[in-house]
Amino acid sequence: MRRCIWVILAALLILSLRAETSAETLKGRSRLGIDLRLADHGTSSVYTTIGMGTVRTEAGSSGMGGGVSYGYWIQENLAFSVSISGLTTEVDTEIDGGTVSSQTVVVAPILVGVRYYAPNSALTTDWRPYVTASGGPYIASQSKTEVGLEIVNEERTETAIGAYLGAGLDVRVSRYFLFGTGLGYHFVGAFSEEIGGRTDYSGAEFSLSVSLLFGGHR
């Protein structure tokens, strides 16, 4: 996973260095992107006493996933954005007495927001730093299999409202392609019931993306 991220970062740097600076406007253009995301939800452990035994649930501290995004430049320094992504976190549960369960949790945010590009001096270059804010539903799905005296399969879904705040850098490598990297934080409301041993999936996220640019005028 780390090697993949470093390869993408290296490719972004090499391509951006080869890109020719252009004053071509992005106003009125759209982008369709594919995203690679790495999130840190923090480790969660839950202990419950049942009779003479103890149940321990430990959720993984990070999740890796991908998604798709769409953006439209309303102004040269302001873009509308929509993204749909999914982050997978493995969760292992050990139960004294010989029963073991394994779970997979997928958290899928559907976010609508804006990107604001600054400073104005960057609007005529291929390197465009930005800040971003978005919000929408976070859908968490849990798939659980418990093996003991009998096998039990369980699937549940919970939804909460949340928001994302972050900053990043878009690098235009040609008229038709844009690379991006971002870092931010998800503020997620508590789910009504636990998913993977927790109700809170707030946490930091690092992302890499490649986008196809289209529309607008030459």
pTM: 0.78
Handedness of CA 79, 80, 84, 87 (dihedral sign): positive
Mean pLDDT of 40-51: 53
Q: What are phi and psi of 122, to 5 degrees?
A: -85, -10
Q: H-type helices in 112-213, by residue range?
A: none
Q: What are phi and psi of 163, to 5 degrees?
A: -145, 155
Rg (CA), the chain: 21
Give me the pLDDT at residue 124, please.
Answer: 78
Q: Which runs of E-coded beta strand occur in the chain?
A: 29-40, 44-50, 53-59, 62-75, 78-95, 99-117, 127-147, 151-172, 177-188, 203-215
pLDDT tens-digit readout, 12-45: 555 555 444 455 788 999 999 999 988 876 655 4
